[in-house]
Amino acid sequence: MAFPNRAKYLIIGAGIHGLSAAWHLGLAMQAKGQTPRNEDGATDILVIDKGGIASGASGIACGVVRNNYFQPAMRELMAHSVGIWESDAEAFSYHRVGYMQISPESMHADVAQIAKEQKEIGYTSTFVEGEADSMAYMRDMFDDWQAKGITSVLHETRGGYANNTAAIYGLAGKAEATGARILTGVTVTGFKTGGGAVTAVETDRGVIEAENVVVAVGPWVKTFWDMLGLPKTVDIKGADGKMHTDIPMWEYWSLQEGTLGVDPDLQKTNRGRMPPVIHVDTDAPLYSDVDGSLITDQLWGIYYKPDTNFGGIQGGAMPFKLETNPDDVAVDPYGPESPDFVVGDEFAHMWCSALAFCQKRFEGQTPKYKN
């Protein structure tokens, strides 16, 4: 089939957002009795990507599926999203093992509000309050649980995680099944505009006229913003009622994640089951499990889960803001290949010590990071 020069919907990015948009556009057209067109030179739903399916953030993301957010407006949206993952667990490589938010007293009120809002929309969860009851609940699941400073546990029985690359390929299959066309190895080089709108997308393989353009490129979005000549700063009215001017439009954050090279079965529960995703926040001091030195006495947090996709225990800690000028951040090559987005020995030391803080079985484990 020839390279298309026209598309009704042109989606840039073959990650989770771009492919989800393609899939749902296809479903919407089918619901109207329409079959998305794929002809020489024209197509209704076209996804392009300069790399391949899941070649960016979607291919190395943690894959956690949850409804644990502090914004009430997101609660029903997240419940709906969890339902999508549940709708075809095999295709999405989805593991419905649940999700646990394990928290200190300083977060008690916020987590209680989340639990209340989950209950109001019928999203199944168990909320445990009090230090003694929280410890008993965790020990019933893991007999070696030992985390200190915990006064609440919110256990979502829905949710879990998906093996990232496999999940995105499953999503690509669903998009193609509705009639969407996916072309990889196509690099966007610019845009044509008219009447205040994008009319065509220029690529290294030709120009594609488009009625609608969806930019779903994750961390590459700044590149497209710059191509369109959009402003580098923004004025924002703050909660204090004051107008804050010349705020930089972009900043990059690095999410610290890695994989501990141990048997994924190491984390099985007392009943021999694969465990929920564990998310721990606490203000109890964290000490090194190597030399006993103090790592932090401030609020800290981690998450972790077994993952056969990575071959170990995968997880991460709080992200940090990159101080590099956004114009100079090395988004390519993406992920751990970039000098701006790679975890180091300091994170490995902290994360392994935090695992040992939570469960005795992790004491003395040697960090072997794969991503």
Give pLDDT, residue 370: 47
Give pLDDT, residue 368: 53
The answer to whether 283 touches 298, Cβ cutoff 8 Å, is yes
Q: How far apart are CA 111 and CA 151, in angstroms?
A: 11
CATH number for the segment(s) 6-58+165-227: 3.50.50.60
Give pLDDT, residue 294: 97
Question: From the CB of residue 313, how many other CB atoms can be counted at a distance below 10 Å?
Answer: 24
Average pLDDT, the chain: 93
CATH superfamily of 67-161+253-362: D-Amino Acid Oxidase, subunit A, domain 2 (3.30.9.10)
**Position 189 pLDDT exceeds 50:** yes
Q: How far apart are CA 328 and CA 151, in angstroms?
A: 43
Q: How far apart are CA 340 and CA 335, in angstroms?
A: 8
Give pLDDT, residue 366: 64
Q: Check residue 194 and report its DSSP letter.
A: E
**Position 60 pLDDT exceeds 60:** yes
3-class secondary structure, 143: coil
Dihedral Cα 36, 39, 42, 43, nearest 10 deg: 20
Which residues on adjacent β-strands are paired with residue 127?
154
The answer to whether 41 touches 6, Cβ cutoff 8 Å, is yes
Give pLDDT, residue 371: 45
- Show me where the domains of the chain are located: 6-58+165-227, 67-161+253-362
